[in-house]
Structure 1
Amino acid sequence: MQAAWLTCGLLLACAARVLWWMLERVSWDRRKNRRRWADAPLPLQSLVVLGSGGHTMEMLSLLRDLDQDKYKCQFIMGETDSTSLKKVQAVRPDLAAHPHRFHTIPRSREVGQSWASSLPSTLKAFIACLSLVWKLHPQVLIVNGPGTCIPVVAAALLFELVTFRSCSLVFVESVCRVKSLSMTGKLVYLVSDSFIVHWPELAERYPKAQYLGVLL
């Protein structure tokens, strides 16, 4: 009987933790980001996801004005992504000069691959991301829409839930998205701390979105 009560107590505690975390995650208080890291020592450990195609160039443009003294960036890319690192080397040789900051994960979904067939590869990518997130302990996660970021976001959220260590999720929608969100944007909209769009039409449709002008 005592073991049963103990089990029930643990289950209730876990359920309360999950519920509290979910309520905090979907809160629309945009000031919580500033409060969360107001007294944290700098630089903040930051994890940036690079995606193939135009996502990497957009991300490099976004990072152009990022204060390197405040944010120490580590980078994640898909292991089959043969172009992102070359773009970093060409555009930001200062970042490419630190190869230990670049990490690869199994790609969750190739271009044109069906969602059903991508489930095993997504699970494999998620497990790899869990290991990496546990190793790096990111305080800030910056993503801008590539499918590669989904298992990274999921791993970071689970890390936060289990360890009680906050990880601020910053999502920047692609500049190509004028009137509708990308699939990734729709998936992370509610759980993001900062959700940034380039066009006022999106800010009008999605109350949580922040329109800061075209940042590229």
Structure 2
Amino acid sequence: MKKDIKICLVGSSGGHLTHLYLLKDFWEEYDRFWVTFDKDDANSVLEYEKKYYCYFPTNRNIKNLFKNTMLAIKVLKKEKPDLIISSGAAVAVPFFYIGKLFGAKTVYLEVFDRIDSPTLTGKLVKPVTDKFLVQWEELEKIYKNSKNIGGIF
């Protein structure tokens, strides 16, 4: 395992977690940890991975946004990642903003099923994202300075 950088992978369970897991060729050689929901699919996929559980539901839930912001401070202060990667959903927001305050670089991957309209999470994290990746040409026009990497499926 490479120790030169530490990666934090943040995403809700389900499709967002699947997107991050599909990047395994990139992250598998690095020291890493995950932030996701305590749900069966996440626990199965990440059985042998270091993980922290965030609070859900997250979408438009102010109480859990506050709790996840406190979690982000605690986890990021302890783990000190160099890089935070997410494909959403809302749990990415506090981790990206707090991560930037702690000096981490951020990479956001807009989900595959968004072809010509932005996600709320994408719009919220764009200002603090160092590398914003999309999977469709149409989204390059919506997200200025993004990079189209094509579909990861």
- The structure-2 alpha-carbon separation of the partners of 1:47 and 1:206, relative to structure 1 and needing over 3 Å to count, comes to same
Letter aligned with residue 104 of structure 1? Y
Query: Residue 178 of structure 1 is aligned with which of 115, 123, 142?
Result: 115
The residue aligned with 2:92 is: 149
Mapping for residues 1-216 of structure 1, pairs under 5 Å: 42-63=3-24, 65-66=25-26, 68-69=28-29, 71-79=30-38, 81-86=39-44, 88-89=45-46, 96-98=47-49, 101-107=50-56, 109=58, 115=60, 118-160=61-103, 167-216=104-153
Contact 1:143-1:170 at 8 Å conserved across structures: yes
C-alpha displacement of 1:137: 0.2
- Give the conservation status (yes or no) of the 8 Å contact 1:108–1:125: no
Using a 3 Å threshold, how does the CA distance of structure 1 residues 169 and 67 change in structure 2: closer, same or farther?
closer
Of all paired residues, the percent bearing the same amino acid is 23
CA distance in 2, matches of 1:104, 1:211: 30
Helix, strand or coil at the partner of 2:56: coil
Cα distance in 2 for residues equivalent to 1:57 and 1:84: 9
Is the Cα contact below 8 Å between 2:96 and 2:128 reproduced in 1? no
TM score, norm. by length of structure 2: 0.88
Shift of 1:151: 2.0
Q: CA deviation at 1:143?
A: 0.2
CA contact (8 A) 2:16 2:89 kept: yes
Preserved CA contact (<8 Å) 2:96 2:129: no
Structure 1 outlier segments of 4+, above 6 Å: none
Question: C-alpha displacement at 1:132, in angstroms?
Answer: 0.6
Question: 2:27, 2:63 → 1: CA distance?
Answer: 38
**Equivalent AA in structure 2 for residue 129 of structure 1:** A
Structure 1: which amino acid aligns with 2:74?
Answer: S
- Identify which range, 205-214 or 176-185, moves more after superposition: 205-214
Deviation at 1:62, TM superposition (A): 2.0
Q: Pick the structure with more strand per residue.
A: 2
Aligned length: 152
For structure 1, the 5+ residue unaligned runs are 1-40, 90-95, 161-166
Bigger proportion of residues as helix = 1
Name the CA shift for 1:148/1:168 in 2 (closer, same or farther; >3 Å). same
The TM-score, its normalising length taken from structure 1, stands at: 0.64
